[in-house]
């Protein structure tokens, strides 16, 4: 039987993991078993640069941490070697973006199991969809471009009406 000290450490770890998961807007759970140490080091560096927290977790402890939360539906995907990438709230899509690219580059050695966004469990297709979305700055740029285009079109239409009215008066 586990000693009380080890049990207390595990309970503390589960509480910390649960707090991290609940505080985050998005994350990805994946199987890291097929990658080399060099690939893992590269992945950790990319995740760190994107502001994503990366942890290897025991399936049992992860199941306990997500029990009773909105993402409890991920439990059935927790088999084999498991790691979780928890995105920062500044860019909740960063984990999906980095891991999806890494998965494509690894040619089948690396597997994304599941993920979550705003308390909703995602399948592989959902993660791929999120990974292809532009980041916040890209979305804002697209919005501003659309607004600017509409405003310039309105300005041209008003100018055309003004020119037509001046032509009628002359």
Give the span between the Cα atoms of 62 and 85, in whole angstroms. 13
Q: Which residues are within 8 A (CB) of 125 and not within 5 positions of it... i.e. 6 or more apart?
A: none
Homologous superfamily of the 4-133 domain (CATH): Ribosomal protein L10, N-terminal RNA-binding domain (3.30.70.1730)
Between CA 32 and CA 35, with CA 34 as vertex, the angle to 5 degrees is 75
Q: Can you tell me the distance from the alpha carbon of 149 to that of 146, in angstroms, rounded to the nearest whole number?
A: 5
**pTM (2 decimals)?**
0.73
Domain boundaries, given as residue ranges, for the chain: 4-133, 135-170
Q: Output the tens digit of pLDDT for each of the chain's 170 residues.
A: 568 898 899 999 999 999 998 888 889 999 888 788 888 899 999 999 989 999 999 999 999 999 988 888 888 889 988 999 998 888 888 888 898 888 888 777 788 899 998 888 988 888 888 888 766 677 677 777 777 767 777 778 888 888 877 775 54
Query: Under DSSP, is residue 36 helix (H, G, I), strand (E, B) or coil?
Result: coil
């Amino acid at each position: 039987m586990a000693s009380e000290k080890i049990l207390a450490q595990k309970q503390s770890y589960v509480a910390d993991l649960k707090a991290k998961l609940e505080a985050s807007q998005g994350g990805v759970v994946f199987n890291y078993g097929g990658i080399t140490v060099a690939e893992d080091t590269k992945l950790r560096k990319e995740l760190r640069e994107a502001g994503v927290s990366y942890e290897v977790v025991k399936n049992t402890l992860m199941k306990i941490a997500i029990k009773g939360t909105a993402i409890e539906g991920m439990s059935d995907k927790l088999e084999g070697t498991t790691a979780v990438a928890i995105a920062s709230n500044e860019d909740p899509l960063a984990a999906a973006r980095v891991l999806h690219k890494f998965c494509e580059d690894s040619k089948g050695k690396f597997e994304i199991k599941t993920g979550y966004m705003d308390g909703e469990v995602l399948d592989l297709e959902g993660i791929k969809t999120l990974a292809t979305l532009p980041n916040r700055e890209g979305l804002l740029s697209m919005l501003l471009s659309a607004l600017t285009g509409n405003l310039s079109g309105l300005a041209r239409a008003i100018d055309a009406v003004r020119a037509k009215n001046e032509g009628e008066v002359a």
